[in-house]
Structure 1
Amino acid sequence: MRIQAALVESAGGPFTVHDVDIEEPRRDEILVRIAAAGICHTDLSTRQVWPPARLPMVFGHEGAGVVEAVGAEVTGVAVGDTVCLSYRSCGRCGNCGSAQSAYCEAGIAALNATGTRTDGSTPLSRDGERVFGNFFGQSSFASHAIAYESNCVKVPGDLDPVLAAPLGCGVQTGAGTVLNVLQPAAGSSLVVFGAGGVGLSAVMAAVSEGCSVVAVDPVASRRAVARDLGAVAALDPADVDDVAAAVRDLTSGGPHSALDTTGRSAVISQAIAALRNRGALALVGIGKPAELDIMTVMTKGIQLRGVIEGDAVPQEFIPRLITLHEQGRLPLEKLITPYPFSRIEEAAQAAAGGEVIKPVLTFA
């Protein structure tokens, strides 16, 4: 079937829309007509370093749409179902069986970040030449995507796909890290370093739990959104001599928990310094190897926790996020800027430059 997809044809190159062909779904696959797709920092950073041998490539891992066809072995969704797409897992290993599919023993990278199915094939082609895809088991920067039961979540048919799309990764990661991992008590304090889509999703979730939240980000517009979402303060790190001291002053001696979305060694060190004794730090940002002050971590009794996808099982957690939105406790619309699919590179540049928080592509 002929579809449209946004290709990256050189490492660091732009997203450009082309006609490509997509195979019919195999016995364990699901064909989804994409209605909306969020652009995530992972899409933008990965295209910069994607191996030239696996180009052209179709990225996109926050898709939402309608099921158009299913393979013979698919039982969890049916043609016509409205779905949100998330990360892929094997569904058979010990971690998947114990509600820890974000740490699938088959390898999250192997299932989500190779550019092919597990057998090395790809469902996409252009003029008979292979186009790499299957990113997060979807490659949703396209009018249609092949997905799987493990990353396909049924959602209400009347849910705006522009709101549904970011639930599959960015919102799930930020809100999940708060609700599933840190689990802050009402009245406790939390600091979020980095107020992009993930960080602001964490802000929303923490505020919904009755926490006192401080956001730290250099972009004024993002700090303004953090305050609008209920953060008690939003700091520009360039405006204070000592970020950790400023956070401690705002939280009566240090926050109970912290979340870093930046993956930057210097910022992680600020988080450790800011936390009160026996505080908890969740790391969700992927970056270069970081140097940590182990003595401070030990003497303060800091709990460090790496987190993938908010420790969320999509089929269980995405409906919870939808309920929070329906209750007015997760106002996702305050983060989203819609763009037509034809303007994908413009949307990507706006996200990379900090002009928008969460661009979501729409398909006619």
Structure 2
Amino acid sequence: MKIKAAVTNAQGEDFILKEVDLAAPKANEVLVKIVATGVCHTDAVARDAAIAPLPAVLGHEGSGIVEAVGAGVTRLEKGDHVVLSFAHCGHCENCLIGHPTVCETFNDLNFGGVNDDHTHRLSQDGQPLSTFFGQSSFGTFAVAHERNVVKVDKDVDLALLGPLGCGIQTGAGTVLNKLKPEFGSTIAIYGAGAVGLSAIMAAKIVGCQTIIAVDVHDSRLDMAKQFGATHALNGTQVDVVKEIKEITNGGTKYAVDTTGVPPVVRQSLQALRPLGVSAIVGVTPEMNIDVHNDLMAEGKTMVGVIEGDAVPNVFIPQLIAYFKAGQFPFDKLVTFYEFDQINEAFVDSKAGRTIKPVLRIS
């Protein structure tokens, strides 16, 4: 079938809306009419650093309506409202024990450019286009394996829900699924973008007594307070480690770094109390740490977390339930753009003018 898609032709180039071909879903796959899709930093990295084969149709936070199902699909049917999330094999040891975010073939399935069966569904003028995250949601339709398609309630605005498939799932899941802070505990969130603000909302849900937001933009710190931060620190104006230790009488028990900035990652470790845990979710380059003083001497833990250590078909409906109960107002992060404003959405996101851009596709 013919669809409209935002094609990334070469590294660093703007997205171009084009008519492309999308093949029908094969066994265990579904065809989804995309209603909206989030714009994520990972899409920008894929465009600018070519972490997936190009040309490609990027996008990995899609939401839409099931249009057709392939042979063997049992969980979904035409008309279902769905959110698309990351691809995983479903049968390796990590998938089977409930950790599909570290699927043994995660990188191949999400960044390899092909679908689950190692073939392409997208093409232009007879030449294949790479798939991204097993979905390629920057298009009017997408084909995805049923494993990474999550059925959601029909009484929630479907256009809002796409970011639950990656960025918002990452922030909230890191707190709720991985760190699991005790009621009354202390936590610092470094970076108050969409991922960090989602982590702050999650920390409030579980009853953290002290929630410290750290960022360099006062506007984002003000927003962090609205979502549950008890303290907000501008890293350009204060000694973050000193301030946190004074606020918490010795350091936080938990931390989440969403920035990937090496000096900030070190702050997240240094501002922990003994036996504290820092979860790193930002894409961080090679960096140096003082293993003895930053980690070992006080029994601290530094752990990497992908996609909030979530099982999307379980976790995304939970987040929606929190949203419906008024406990997880992630809709306040969203700014909508039309599909043909895709390049503007990426510029605004990079500049910090928008927390979470969402493209209305159809």
For the Cα contact (< 8 Å) 2:51–2:111, is it kept in 1? no
Return the match for 1:349 from 347, 350, 353.
Answer: 347
Instruction: Give the CA deviation at 1:127.
Output: 2.0
What does 1:331-342 align with in structure 2 at a 5 Å threshold?
331-342=329-340
2: CA distance, partners of 1:219 / 1:44: 21
Partner of 1:41: 41
Instruction: Give the CA deviation at 1:244.
Output: 0.9
2: CA distance, partners of 1:282 / 1:154: 29
Q: For each residue in 1:47-82, what CA deviation from the matched residue of structure 2 results, as whole angstroms up to 9, or x when unmatched?
A: 111169x32211111000001111112111111111
2: CA distance, partners of 1:51 / 1:33: 26
Instruction: Give the CA deviation at 1:363.
Output: 2.0
1: CA distance, partners of 2:248 / 2:308: 24
What does 1:140-219 align with in structure 2 at a 5 Å threshold?
140-211=137-208, 212-219=210-217
2: CA distance, partners of 1:86 / 1:29: 14
Matched, 1:59 2:58: yes
2: CA distance, partners of 1:299 / 1:91: 39
1: CA distance, partners of 2:323 / 2:129: 37
SS in 1 for 2:35: strand
For the Cα contact (< 8 Å) 2:63–2:158, is it kept in 1? yes
SS in 2 for 1:6: strand
SS in 2 for 1:184: coil
Letter in 2 for 1:31: L
Instruction: Give the CA deviation at 1:208.
Output: 1.4
Q: For each residue in 1:237-280, what CA deviation from the matched residue of structure 2 results, as whole angstroms up to 9, or x when unmatched?
A: 1111x221112122222111000111222111111110111111
Matched, 1:91 2:90: yes
SS in 2 for 1:278: strand
Aligned residues with identical type, % of pairs: 46
SS in 2 for 1:179: helix
Instruction: Give the CA deviation at 1:162.
Output: 2.6
For the Cα contact (< 8 Å) 1:138–1:145, is it kept in 2? yes
1: CA distance, partners of 2:284 / 2:11: 18
For the Cα contact (< 8 Å) 2:83–2:149, is it kept in 1? yes
For the Cα contact (< 8 Å) 1:110–1:118, is it kept in 2? no
2: CA distance, partners of 1:90 / 1:22: 22
1: CA distance, partners of 2:117 / 2:361: 30
1: CA distance, partners of 2:356 / 2:130: 25
Letter in 1 for 2:146: E
Return the match for 1:284 from 281, 285, 289.
Answer: 281
Moved more, 152-161 or 248-257: 248-257
What does 1:93-108 align with in structure 2 at a 5 Å threshold?
93-105=92-104, 107-108=105-106
Task: Indicate how the Cα distance of structure 1 residues 51 and 331 shifts in structure 2: closer, same or farther if over 3 A, else same.
Answer: closer
Instruction: Give the CA deviation at 1:145.
Output: 0.6
Partner of 2:245: 248
Matched, 1:257 2:254: yes
For the Cα contact (< 8 Å) 1:11–1:51, is it kept in 2? no
For the Cα contact (< 8 Å) 1:30–1:148, is it kept in 2? yes
Partner of 1:224: 222
2: CA distance, partners of 1:42 / 1:323: 26
2: CA distance, partners of 1:51 / 1:336: 26
Instruction: Give the CA deviation at 1:119.
Output: 4.7
Instruction: Give the CA deviation at 1:117.
Output: 2.2
Structure 1 segments unaligned to the other structure (5+ residues): none
For the Cα contact (< 8 Å) 1:337–1:358, is it kept in 2? yes
Structure 2 segments unaligned to the other structure (5+ residues): none
Letter in 1 for 2:359: L
1: CA distance, partners of 2:82 / 2:148: 10
Instruction: Give the CA deviation at 1:294.
Output: 0.4
For the Cα contact (< 8 Å) 2:45–2:51, is it kept in 1? no
2: CA distance, partners of 1:39 / 1:355: 13
2: CA distance, partners of 1:224 / 1:355: 14
2: CA distance, partners of 1:102 / 1:363: 27
For the Cα contact (< 8 Å) 2:269–2:302, is it kept in 1? no
Alignment size in residue pairs: 360
Instruction: Give the CA deviation at 1:329.
Output: 0.8
